[in-house]
Amino acid sequence: MESTLDIFVKAIFSENMIFAYFLGMCSYLAVSKTVKTAVGLGAAVIFVLVVTVPVNYLLENYMLKAGALSWLGDEYANIDLSFLSFIMFIAVVASIVQLVEMLVEKFAPALYGALGIFLPLIAVNCSILGGALFMQERQYSTLLDATAFSLGSGIGWFIAIVAIAAIREKIRYSNVPAPLRGLGITFIITGLMGIAFMSFMGIKYGKDVKKEKAPTTMVGQINNDKN
Amino acid sequence: MSEIAIKSKAPREPLFSKKNKKLITDPLTDNNPVTIQVLGICSALAITVQVSQGVVMGLSVIFVTVMGNLLISLLRNVIPSKIRIIVQLVVAASLVIIVNEVLKAYLPDISEKLSVFVGLIITNCIIMGRFEAFAMANKPWPSVLDGFGNGLGYAGLLVLVAIFRELFGSGTLGGIPIFGNSLPGEESGLYAMGYANNNMMILPPMALVIVGCIIWVQRSRNKSLQESH
């Protein structure tokens, strides 16, 4: 088993939401024109991920998974509701985002001013639902692990969007070929950053990882995770 | 009977009028959802390693955009605008559940490879974008066409990227070897002459670079799409 710290570090670097799985690319590309807004969106993503993934974890383990309803009594032990997980997860994400927005507006107006316009956007950010789905697929054993994963993923996303925003601010002073300006060059820079981030994959996490054959490509890594 | 039918149809717009055709053809080129509208990149690029995955993903998205646009367009007058996002998400999620169950039943291998990315169709910005921008304000038939066009534009780009990545990354197309046998010890075709697959193409970041190059080509052919920064 991986330790909680491994899960956390892995989620930030080698399994970065943006560079390894392209989750949340839409807002990543749309809101990365200046560092200030990028920081706001990144913070909102961390916040929402840390709130929603644990809730979805509880939902998955006490309601949706095969046999998860056994706490209700023996006759419910054979029920498998996992086909409902998409709709439950997205409903949880959408309603929590709405709830968080209201709470933040009421109790922390300053924070609302900073995050306000980004919160509604986040309900449809792939990285939030992606966090819940990866949590489901990887079967984290404790609530703590799932929370560590969500915090790590959020921080990874934050690092990625702030980094690209800083690069985009500077690239204005360079002479980029006209057809590549804007979107095109952003795609290519993200690709190059992804290649740089892949160097984190060589890091060995924990003690028992050494027994596994080290995956040579990210595809191998993804397949290993599945097994 | 047939005369009456024709007469009653006459004042209506023909099913494939010029305007309606434009709804399908525009997203394929000058208004492509991925390269121009910057929607739906999220769940797309990680699964373009093989053409077969790209095709399945593209078909799933076409199904969801068409059916979702139709449903939202039928419901557009009864959805309260304050909770429309949640209604749209529920429609998208139900359709994606159908897709996921069908894939699991009939294409288990591909379904396993696509893993979470089928679920992520729900938050694919194309789906929400078209619901919000088109289906909420238009009649069912144009909405269906719009959904089909945008789904197709997305699928087309996925397959194009997948062709590049599979051909140069693994030397196959749809699982069929193109450049000969690459197994060490029994090379044939190009491999016998010392050709080697570019393993970099299989890595996720290369998908972004390929899309960047596609945007480059498209925008150098059509100057009106270029941005100042």
Least confidently predicted of A101-115, A157-171, B161-175: A101-115
| φ, ψ for residue B48, nearest 5 deg | -100, 25
What's the average model confidence in pLDDT over A143-155? 93
Q: Judge whether residue A167 has pLDDT over 90.
A: yes
Instruction: Show the DSSP H helices in B76-181 as ranges.
Output: 84-106, 108-114, 116-119, 125-133, 140-170
Structure tokens at A183: 């979107």
DSSP class of A151: H
Q: Which residue has the higher pLDDT, B82 or B147?
A: B147
Instruction: Classify B172 in phi/psi space as left (phi over 0), alpha (psi -120 to 50) or beta.
Output: beta
CB nearest to B116's CB, from A130, A182, A184: A130
Mark which residues 127-186 of B lie under 8 Å from A by CB.
128
Q: Where are the domains of chain B?
A: 35-215
In this complex, is the C-beta atom of A226 within 8 Å of any C-beta atom belonging to chain B? yes
What is residue A225's predicted lDDT score, i.e. its pLDDT?
47
- What does each C-alpha distance from B125 to A23, B27, B64, B131, B133 come to in angstroms? 11, 15, 12, 10, 11
What is residue B179's predicted lDDT score, i.e. its pLDDT?
80
Mark which residues 25-64 of B lie under 8 Å from A by CB.
35, 38-46, 49
CB nearest to B215's CB, from A133, A183, A194: A183
Measured in angstroms, the CA of A205 and the nearest CA of chain B are apart by: 21
Residues of A in Cβ contact (< 8 Å) with B218: 179
In this complex, is the C-beta atom of B108 within 8 Å of any C-beta atom belonging to chain A? no
Nearest CA in chain B to A222: B113
High-pLDDT (> 70) share of chain A, %: 85
What does chain A come to in residues?
A: 227
What is residue A161's predicted lDDT score, i.e. its pLDDT?
92
Q: Which residue has the tokens 């970065």?
A: A16
In this complex, is the C-beta atom of A227 within 8 Å of any C-beta atom belonging to chain B? no
Q: Is B184 exposed, middle or buried (0-12, 13-18, 19+ CB in 10 A)?
A: exposed
Q: Which residue has the higher pLDDT, B123 or B14?
A: B123
**Is the C-alpha dihedral spanning B220, B224, B227, B228 positive or negative?**
positive
Cβ <8 Å between B42 and A23: yes
CB nearest to B49's CB, from A23, A172, A219: A219
What does chain B come to in residues?
A: 229
Over residues B177-198, the pLDDT tens digits come to 888 777 776 777 777 777 878 8
What's the average model confidence in pLDDT over B139-143? 90
Cβ <8 Å between A187 and B119: no
pLDDT band at B95 (very low <50, low <70, confident <90, very high): very high
Over residues B98-130, the pLDDT tens digits come to 999 999 999 888 888 887 888 888 888 788 888
Q: Tabulate helix, strand, coil % of chain A (nearest 5).
A: 75, 0, 25
Nearest CA in chain A to B215: A184
Q: Judge whether residue B147 has pLDDT over 80.
A: yes
Least confidently predicted of A175-184, B86-95, B157-166: A175-184
In this complex, is the C-beta atom of A87 within 8 Å of any C-beta atom belonging to chain B? yes
Residue B114 neighbours by CB distance under 10 Å? 22
In this complex, is the C-beta atom of A99 within 8 Å of any C-beta atom belonging to chain B? no
Q: Judge whether residue A214 has pLDDT over 70.
A: no
What's the average model confidence in pLDDT over B157-166? 89
Q: Judge whether residue B169 has pLDDT over 90.
A: no
CB pairs under 8 A between A and B: 169
SS3 annotation, B159-178: HHHHHHHHHHHHCEECCEEC
Residue in B32, B41, B42 to test binding to A, most A beta-carbons within 10 Å: B42
In angstroms, rounded to a whole number, what is the distance separating the alpha carbons of residues B33 and B22? Answer: 14
Which residues face A145 on adjacent strands? none
- What does each C-alpha distance from B220 to A219, B116, B161, B227 come to in angstroms? 33, 35, 19, 11
What's the average model confidence in pLDDT over A25-45? 83
Over residues A59-87, the pLDDT tens digits come to 988 888 887 787 887 778 788 888 888 88
DSSP class of A14: T
In this complex, is the C-beta atom of B229 within 8 Å of any C-beta atom belonging to chain A? yes
